[in-house]
A = this chain, B = another copy of it.
Amino acid sequence: MRENLLLEEAQEVLLNQARPLGKTLVPLMEAFGRVVGQDIRACDNVPPFNKSPLDGYALRSHDTRKASPLNPVRLTVREEVRAGCMPGQEVVPGTAIKVMTGAPLPAGADAVIKYEDVKEGENCLEVYQPLKAGGNIIQAGDDITQGELVAPQGSLVSPALAGLLASLGLSRIPVFSQIRAAIVSTGDELMTPFEPLVPGKIYNSSLYSLEARCRELGALPVILGNVPDRVEAVAACLQQGLATADIVISTGGVSVGDYDVVQDALSELGAEIIFWKIKMKPGSPLIAALKDNKIIIGLSGNPAAAMVTFDLVAVPVLKKMMGQNQLLPGKTKAVFLDRFDKPSPERRFLRARLHRRNGMDFVRLTGEQGNGVLKSLVACNVLIDVPAGSGPLKTGQQVNAYITGNINESYQQDFRSSLMRIAY
């Protein structure tokens, strides 16, 4: 068993163990939010035929080459084609076919002229200007060319991609199987929020924040609940997690005290302990193990420490198991707009929020940084990475920050407009 790894070593060791599960075909709308399981190439052109982008007349550009306001060209209208219909005739010299937006371009035509640019008569029209060949035509394959890669393996199916796959007529989409993440908390002191609080006890929060975070990531949480601090009970619960899920996440019971039982439970299960402890605050006493080719990650029992290490260590693992390509949190350099007076003999991650001002990234602490303080995680969307051996942080100094939350909101708060005055 290795001890006291760098965060990056811990990530690497676990990512090298993690493997995506199998693949499956799901109906189009169930694919939204899932991860594409294999490269998807276009089976056809989109659009499948040349078509008109507007309401007008399909004609032969050659017929209009001498048209002018003084010498209009007169064309006979042979028929009218609506979107969704096929032309019955072709455009021969001296004729035109009326086409609605989206209608297929009739054979013989090589340009479309807008309604507004012609004078319409009884089954005829007058054109006052020469048209270029190809004018106002959407070519077959303009959006997507047959054979083109439209969704590489590992892409998330976004709303736009769902639409694109629909436009190709794909009703069943290959995606990676959803992963099941078992979540268990340990601790005699924990009660569910549905019970009246007993003196000396506190409410469980990690079970709920981890469940929500798994759902947010697209994993299926398997909630095993809370188990008391006894080795056999914890071992039985971890075993249940291994039997019903693809990865097991626990909180609590990982430090060095008399009642820190996860390590003993793992030994009892015969799990191979990969490493214990990461050189970071908060969440240092993280334990990682392997049993039945499944990863078990034991997080700190402190709610904030558990979430921080979940994001930095467990989330990349879950993403790899889901088949995603981008595993690690993004990073930015930002200007620190706060004070943090403590030195950091150990590497430290501070909960903070990105603030945008004039296109630059600033970060501010979101509150108290204690291991248990969940409040400062609520507004947190970045974790400032304070290297080991740093002194106090000063206002204005540059810091590195991992992006762990939604930073779109940070951009949104930079936005000032007249719309601010809209009344509620």
Report A's interface with B, CB cutoff 8 A.
8, 11-12, 15-16, 28-29, 32-33, 44, 46-49, 53-55, 82-86, 100-104, 115, 138, 142-144, 150-151, 157-171, 187-194, 197, 199-213, 215-216, 229, 255-259, 301, 303, 307, 326-334, 356, 358-361, 368, 370-375, 377-378, 380, 403, 405-415, 417-419, 422-423
Contact = CB atoms under 8 A, between A and B. Distances in A.
Contacts of A206: 163
Contact of A419 (B8, B201, B207, B410): B8
Contacts of A407: 407-408, 411
Q: Which 6 A-B pairs have the closest CB atoms?
A: A163-B209, A330-B411, A84-B189, A55-B257, A84-B188, A330-B412
A330 B45 CA distance: 35
Given A102-B202, A166-B205, 9 more contacts: A102-B301, A115-B256, A163-B307, A166-B209, A167-B203, A167-B205, A330-B411, A332-B411, A333-B359
A412 B104 CA distance: 42
Given A16-B422, A403-B412, A406-B408, A53 B371 contact: yes
B202 A159 contact: no
Contacts of A414: 330-332
Contacts of A423: 16
B417 A328 contact: yes
A323 to B, nearest CB: 10
A44 B202 CA distance: 11
A220 to B, nearest CB: 13
A163 B205 contact: yes
22 contacts: A15-B422, A28-B208, A32-B211, A48-B197, A53-B370, A83-B188, A84-B189, A85-B200, A101-B257, A104-B199, A138-B370, A144-B375, A159-B216, A159-B307, A166-B193, A167-B202, A169-B193, A169-B203, A170-B193, A171-B193, A330-B412, A331-B415
Contacts of A259: 82-83, 100
A167 B328 contact: no
Contact of A332 (B326, B327, B356, B418): B356
Nearest to A151: B378
Contact of A29 (B15, B103, B208): B208
A415 to B, nearest CB: 5
A422 B210 CA distance: 26
Contacts of A163: 205-206, 208-209, 212, 303, 307, 374, 377
Contact of A142 (B12, B144, B207, B373): B373
Given A160-B374, A301-B101, A415 B188 contact: no
Given A160-B377, A168-B203, A423-B16, A372 B303 contact: no
Contacts of A333: 358-359
B143 A374 contact: yes
A203 B166 contact: yes
Contact of A411 (B29, B189, B359, B403): B403
A97 to B, nearest CB: 13
Nearest to A423: B16
Given A82-B188, A255-B101, A412 B326 contact: yes
Given A16-B422, A84-B189, A409-B326, A372 B53 contact: yes
Residue of A55, A83, A190, A197 contacting most chain B CB atoms (<10 Å): A83
Residue of A16, A169, A377 contacting most chain B CB atoms (<10 Å): A169
A301 B101 CA distance: 9
A82 B229 contact: yes
A145 to B, nearest CB: 10
Contact of A164 (B169, B378, B413): B378
B86 A200 contact: yes
Contact of A84 (B201, B329, B330): B201
Contacts of A413: 326, 330
